[in-house]
Structure 1
Amino acid sequence: MKGGPVSDQYRLVRLDALRGFALFGILAVNAWVFATGYYGSGIADPARDPAVQWIVSMFFETKFYLLFSFLFGYSFTQQMDSAARAGVAFRPRMLRRHLGLAAIGVAHAVLLFHGDILTTYALLGLVLLALRGISPRRAVRLAVGLILVSGALWTLLGVLDVLTRAPADAAAVSAQVAETVAAYRGSPGTVVAERLRQLPATLGFVVFVQAPSALAMFLLGFAAGRRRVLAEPGRYRALWAWLLRVGAPIGLAGAGFYAYVAVNHPGSPVETVAIGVSILTAPLLAGGYVAVLLRLFDTRAAAVFAPAGRVALSNYILQSVVLGVVFTAYGFGLMGTLSYGAVAGLVVGIYAVQLALSALWLRSHRYGPLEWLLRAVTTGARPVAARQL
């Protein structure tokens, strides 16, 4: 069985559909890094559309990477089960997998998108590998502890910022934004150079803001996988009800505060407070999304999103390729030229095409291109790519 096809009986359509839907949220956030040099600059884009920015900040930013992280942790338990069925040692298999994921992530960060999450997942996955013997209950407690400590520290840091930090120099930031846009619109060489220049700052944000929350969601996903929460959702109706009635409203309140600050006070000291509040509340909203989507995916809607989720890695990289062609010197160099409404429309269009292409691809292939490569690295054998028609 080593290196052979994955039997459909071991796939969870709900898991694939959740991952497929999460791709839309990831695209809805990442597109702005390509579209405007002002994203994350600390000052407002003069050409922004506050309504579009509010929607993205409220419902997408800081939420969907958490959902992806939860699903990564859940899939980790499936990898454990797969290794057990194949009768192979799990640890060497996962070390190879994470090495392959890290290699793809590094190439992605340097060539296409400095905000890459794959390398972070590969490294944090080693922590999960070390903790794989943990009980589901302890995994949940550790996850909650990580969220509470990280969120409290950032909120406290934000309060100190409010008391001590001076506002950003708008003229200096605008000059840097102009240089960034010029680099991305210059040549492929200047695109790579600018990605490398921005990597250190991005890594700092990932390590100190995203990584603790991502690891927490890994652990929650791991616990959910051990308890077969997505395989048997009917056993956890109380959990879904709590997430909808209590968790989601708290998450929406935190998201509302975060969005208000992001739209009206970007780069201000209170933005650090908003980050802390988001760390504390965004996991609850992400959980609310799962509760709603599981109801939706009891219908035929699951079949619409599941194919994209089955080739999520390839789709994630493809999003960066398309955005790179549209906005940088790899293609049309349109960074800073499209309206916010046009960018939002582009996001919807790209995602719709990905849904259709994923379904079409899987009619004749068992894996996406990068899924095939990662599986080959993981198993140390050449998987059978084509479906038998």
Structure 2
Amino acid sequence: MNVTRIGRPADGNPQPAPGDTVVRITVVDALRGSALLLILLVNIAFFSSGYDFHLVDDPTHGTVDRLVAGAVELLFAMKAYLLFAFLFGYSFTLQLDSAARRGVAFRPAFLRRLSGLFVLGVLHAVLLFHGDILTTYALLGLALLAARQMAPRTALVVAAGIIGGIAVVVGIAAVLGATLVPDEATAVSAGARSTLALGGGPGDVVLEHLRSMPAMIGGLAVQGPLAFAAFLVGLAAGRHRFLASVPAHADLLRRIERVGYPIGLAGAVVFAVGGGTANLTGLMVSIVTAPFLAAAYAATLLRLFTRRPRVADVFAPAGRMALTNYLTQSLVCVLVFSGVGWGLVGRTSPAQTLVIALVVFAVQVAASSWWLRRFRYGPVEWALRAWTNRDRRRD
């Protein structure tokens, strides 16, 4: 399969080269690279401390630490993965079109791709990060495959229905007095045990990941449907080739910002001040409002990338190697924080943890650019492509 870098005229619209079967749209890759950064800013907290997984604050953190952690929760928690899921749905439409142009059966290859993602996700969850999303994407991909003929308007209506339905269920649970942290003292004690386990050797880290699995799977009762809703929004946008002609949608993007930021930030404040994911009322508000803020982020980034193509060029290589970079982020965090490597778990403040995240991503941006000047695919992308297409060529 011939995948080449596309050209870009002065207006920012991507132009496919003759003979391309899959066209790299720079803004799509740049947006995906940006989403990788936001995901890392959220996920790294689960590597640096065992308390976040149990939905309680580290008791050693002071006021400033809690403000920094709260700012990350306010701005990025429950928003970053929605942006990434939207791009999964959008890219799905590009894959469909590519298969149609080449006259090949899409379903068998896509099912192989999903099986490859699932295996990678299981290994990732057990060895590196119990908050893996790849297994969820692989399973939800089956539903997306079934919905591939859905009309754009229907996809948006179904997505809104899913979001509303989950919010109602969580709201009812809140009214009935349900809580995700029934005993804070017990949760703090569990957080201390998790932090100690993550600071151990490889066996301790893997056992901690396995112990965490039931709770993580339970969390997918909310995250999974919301991710699928974002898939459907991406499917609808892909049907209209929205990201292939971003300047043509400038007015719509500005409207998304004008609506998305006030609603999204207001909901984010309620979510963060109310205790984040641990508080069902705040969670219900975030379920409804987080998609608005994620959409506003996407609109702002897309406008930035079309006005400043060089900024897009910086982020795009990381997005082209998104799978490699996602897994590498976890590997690096394990080496930095767990006892497998430097053992910094429980020893860095939230601010220091964020600095580490930014450094990791900056290195990934540079490494991705270097790699793609020499190879067409990232290493994990190549392996998944070889499995999907039954083609081991390295071109």
TM more than 0.5: yes
Q: Which residue of 2 aligns with 1:336?
A: 346
Q: Offset at 1:166?
A: 10
1:171-190 superposed Cα distances (whole Å, 9 cap, x missing partner): 32232222212211121111
Q: Could you say what secondary structure the match of 1:230 adopts?
A: helix
Q: Is the 8 A contact 2:264 2:290 kept in 1?
A: yes
Aligned to 1:183: 197
Identify which of 151, 163, 166 aligns with 1:150.
166
The equivalent residue for 2:305 is 297
Contact map agreement 2:253 2:303 (CA 8 A) in 1: no
User: Which one is further off, 245-254 or 279-288?
Assistant: 245-254
The answer for the alignment partner of 1:217 in structure 2 is 230
- Find the aligned partners of 1:42 and 1:217 in 2 and give their Cα distance: 25
2:180/2:280 contact within 8 Å kept: no
Q: Residue 74 of structure 1 contacts residue 222 of structure 1 at CA under 8 Å; is this kept in 2?
A: yes
Of 345, 367, 388, which aligns to 1:378?
A: 388
Matched letter for residue 72 of structure 2: V
Aligned to 1:16: 29
Code of the aligned partner of 1:6: V
Please name the residue that 2:130 is paired with: 114
Are 2:29 and 2:315, in contact at CA under 8 Å, matched by a contact in 1?
yes
Q: 1:167 to 1:77 in 2, by over 3 A?
A: closer
**Residues 1:84 and 2:100 aligned together:** yes
TM-score, length of structure 1 as denominator length:
0.93
**TM-fit CA distance, 1:167:** 6.8
1:171 is matched with 185
Segments of structure 2 that go 5 or more residues without pairing to the other structure are 6-15, 17-22
Q: Which residue in 1 is equivalent to 2:264?
A: 251
Task: Describe the superposition over 1:222-242 as per-residue Cα deviations: whole angstroms up to 9, x where unpaired.
Answer: 110010011112333343122
- The alpha carbon displacement at 1:81 in A equals 1.2
Give me the CA root mean square deviation.
1.5
Give the secondary structure class of the aligned counterpart of 2:345. coil
**Comparing both chains, which one has the higher relative contact order based on Cα–Cα distances under 8 Å and sequence gaps of 6 or more?**
1
Structure 2 SS opposite 1:286:
helix
Distance across 2 between alignment mates of 1:384 and 1:191: 34
Give SS of 1:40's match: helix
The C-alpha deviation readout for 1:59-114, integer Å capped at 9, x for no partner, is: 11000100000000000001111112222100001000100011100100010001
Q: 1:204 to 1:182 in 2, by over 3 A?
A: same
Q: 3-state SS of the aligned residue for 2:216?
A: helix
Partner AA of 1:348 in structure 2: L
The 1:103–1:166 alpha-carbon spacing in structure 2 relative to 1, beyond 3 Å, is closer
Displacement of 1:168 = 3.6
**Separation in 1 of the partners of 2:315 and 2:265?**
24
Counterpart AA for 2:175? V
| 1:159 to partner: Cα distance | 2.4
Aligned residue number for residue 196 of structure 1: 210
SS, match of residue 244 in structure 2: coil
The answer as to whether partners of 2:116 and 2:387 remain within 8 angstroms in 1 is yes
Give identity over the alignment, percent.
Answer: 49
Aligned length: 374
Q: Which amino acid aligns with 2:289?
A: T
Question: What is the distance in 2 between the residues matched to 1:80 and 1:213?
Answer: 23
**2:179, 2:280 within 8 Å by CA — same for their partners in 1?**
no
